[in-house]
């Protein structure tokens, strides 16, 4: 357990004990105020009861506030972690500098939709498949001819190795099938 969590647990325990002691004292003061025959003593006891019961209410309110703050902090930490993970996945989809990393990024982008479909929308499964793809790309990049092999060929090989089904969607035709620009000069 972290130091902050230890301190928070200790503070909650102290607040709980203070609330219990205050409640016991308030009960005693209420009983004494009801039993008092002297009006001045009764007024003093009622005043002490009011101060004590207010202190108990404030102690309980502080305890609940600390719990809400801790829950909100946990939600914010979880949201920040999810955002960090999302940014990491997005960064993995953006081609990095260098021809080898750029090629790996293009293959990753081609296979991303197939991986998401294979995971059926399950984010954890998607992460596992994306990690598997990264490992396979790193391994493929070490093979001779990686940078000369067409991206589509690499993507099809890795998709077959991973058992991914579906159709690859290319955003641009390979250079050999692009229409030649007509000379208008």
| pLDDT 10s digits, 115-168 | 888 878 777 788 888 888 888 888 888 888 888 888 888 888 888 888 887 777
**Residues sharing a CB contact under 8 Å with residue 113, sequence separation 6 or more, in sequence order:** 166, 169
**Mean pLDDT, residues 39-64 taken together:** 91
Structure tokens at 81: 């972690």
- Which residue did the predictor score with more confidence, 171 or 173? 171
Cα dihedral sign for 140, 132, 154, 156? Answer: positive
At 95 the pLDDT is 47
At 90 the pLDDT is 65
61-113 pLDDT tens trace: 888 888 888 888 888 888 888 887 777 766 665 544 688 888 888 888 888 88
**Residues sharing a CB contact under 8 Å with residue 116, sequence separation 6 or more, in sequence order:** 126
Query: 29: burial class by Cβ within 10 Å (0-12, 13-18, 19+)?
Result: buried
- Which residue did the predictor score with more confidence, 17 or 126? 17
The DSSP result for 62-99, as a single string, is: HHHHHHHHHHHHHHHHHHHHHHHHHHHHHHHHSPPSSH
Q: Is 123 helix (H, G, I), strand (E, B) or coil?
A: helix
- Which residue did the predictor score with more confidence, 162 or 38? 38
Q: How far apart are CA 18 and CA 28, in angstroms?
A: 15
At 115 the pLDDT is 84
At 185 the pLDDT is 47
Residues 109, 154 contacting (CB under 8 angstroms): no
Band the pLDDT of 179: cuts 50, 70, 90.
low
* Residue matched to tokens 């719990």: 67
Query: 23: burial class by Cβ within 10 Å (0-12, 13-18, 19+)?
Result: middle
At 44 the pLDDT is 96
């Amino acid at each position: 357990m972290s130091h902050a969590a230890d301190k928070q647990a200790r503070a909650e325990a102290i607040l709980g004990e203070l609330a219990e002691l205050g409640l016991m004292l308030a009960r005693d003061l209420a009983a004494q105020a009801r039993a008092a025959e002297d009006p001045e003593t009764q007024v003093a006891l009622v005043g002490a009861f009011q101060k004590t019961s207010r202190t108990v209410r404030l102690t309980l309110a502080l305890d609940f506030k600390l719990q809400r703050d801790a829950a909100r902090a946990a939600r914010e930490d979880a949201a920040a972690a999810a955002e960090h993970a999302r940014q990491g996945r997005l960064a993995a989809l953006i081609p990095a500098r260098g021809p080898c990393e750029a090629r790996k990024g293009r293959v990753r982008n081609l296979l991303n939709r197939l991986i998401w479909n294979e995971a059926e929308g399950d984010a954890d499964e998607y992460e596992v498949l994306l990690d598997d793809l990264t490992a396979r790309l790193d391994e493929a990049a070490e093979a001779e001819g990686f940078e000369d092999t067409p991206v589509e060929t690499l993507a099809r090989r890795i998709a077959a190795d991973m058992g991914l089904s579906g159709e690859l969607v290319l955003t641009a035709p390979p250079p050999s099938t692009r229409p030649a620009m007509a000379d208008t000069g």
